[in-house]
Amino acid sequence: MGKALTPDLILARAKTDNLYTVKKVNLWGNDIEDVKLLRQMPNVEVLSLSVNRIASLKEFSNCAKLQELYLRKNNIADLSEIRYLINLQELKILWLWDNPCADTPNYREYIIKMLPNLVKLDNETITPEERSAASKLNINFGDFHVSPKEQNDPYPGKKPTFDEYQSQIHPPKEEYSVRRSGSIEQPNKGIYSNPSTYTSRNNENILSAIFSLLKELDDKGLEFVKEDIDKKLSTMRVRGKD
């Protein structure tokens, strides 16, 4: 079972004695599952919570001044959780890469449509082409709006499940498919039509993501990454000899 955010954990890392004044938190890889404490942090601007066990975006709706949110490798499975971020008008950077919801068809277009103020999604700048593709999605924003009074109880009445309005959100697959880089594919080609190109581009994206995350790590985190890399390189050398 995962851990909960606690005042001691936040204050020690932020080097302050008041949750209300905290503007930046980096708790990468801390096995965190419960983030209810965010209700007491309305002024936080940057949250780095990648590699944890967070399964919902509900509590982030309380962070009105949030500008950057890093949630790579968590447990967010339902893409409709994005509804909790709709009122965060200052949110410009969002990372949900390596969450189960990222495998949902039209993942990027859906988020771009729901969060029009975003500038970067998963370390990739949102392109005009992607915004154009996202604009074609038919989404009823009334089904997703979360008012301040509803933040702790967003469903006072029965709402449709994500599966129930999938057909409304996603256009026919043959219309277009969009690469994660933002370029629009011709019908029926798909993103894996050229595996070597995809692999190269994917490696570039991964390296870019790694370099961005390294800036967030403290000495302990960097040492952990170094040990893991050394183990993997050692294993690869052994396999190479075989």
Question: Which pLDDT does position 35 carry in this prediction?
Answer: 96
What does pLDDT average to in each consecutive run of 10 residues of the chain (242 residues)?
A: 89 88 93 96 96 96 96 96 96 96 92 96 95 83 46 40 39 32 34 37 55 60 69 67 58
Question: Which pLDDT does position 209 carry in this prediction?
Answer: 57
Distance (Å, whole) CA 219 – CA 221: 5
Distance (Å, whole) CA 192 – CA 151: 40
Distance (Å, whole) CA 211 – CA 59: 28
Residue 82 · residue 104 · CB < 8 Å: no
Give the residue among 80, 85, 61, 196 at the shortest CA–CA distance from 143: 80
Class of domain 3-192: alpha beta
SS3 call for 46:
strand
Instruction: Count CB atoms within 10 A of the CB of residue 170.
Output: 16
Question: Which pLDDT does position 195 carry in this prediction?
Answer: 38
Q: Which residues contact 177 (CB under 8 A, 6 or more apart)?
A: 184, 185, 189, 190, 191
State the DSSP H helix or E strand holding residue 232, giving kind and residue range, or none if neither: helix 219-241
For the chain, the helix, strand and coil percentages under 3-state DSSP, each to the nearest 5: 45, 10, 45
Instruction: Count CB atoms within 10 A of the CB of residue 67.
Output: 17
Question: Which pLDDT does position 84 carry in this prediction?
Answer: 97
Question: Which pLDDT does position 25 carry in this prediction?
Answer: 93
State the DSSP H helix or E strand holding residue 34, giving kind and residue range, or none if neither: strand 32-34
Strand order in the sheet with 24-26: 24-26, 46-48, 68-70, 93-95, 120-121, 124-125
Residue 50 · residue 28 · CB < 8 Å: yes
Question: Exposed, middle or buried, 111 (CB in 10 Å: 0-12/13-18/19+)?
Answer: buried
Question: Which pLDDT does position 59 carry in this prediction?
Answer: 97
The reported pTM is 0.61
CA angle, 155 then 157 then 159, to 5°: 70
Distance (Å, whole) CA 71 – CA 122: 10
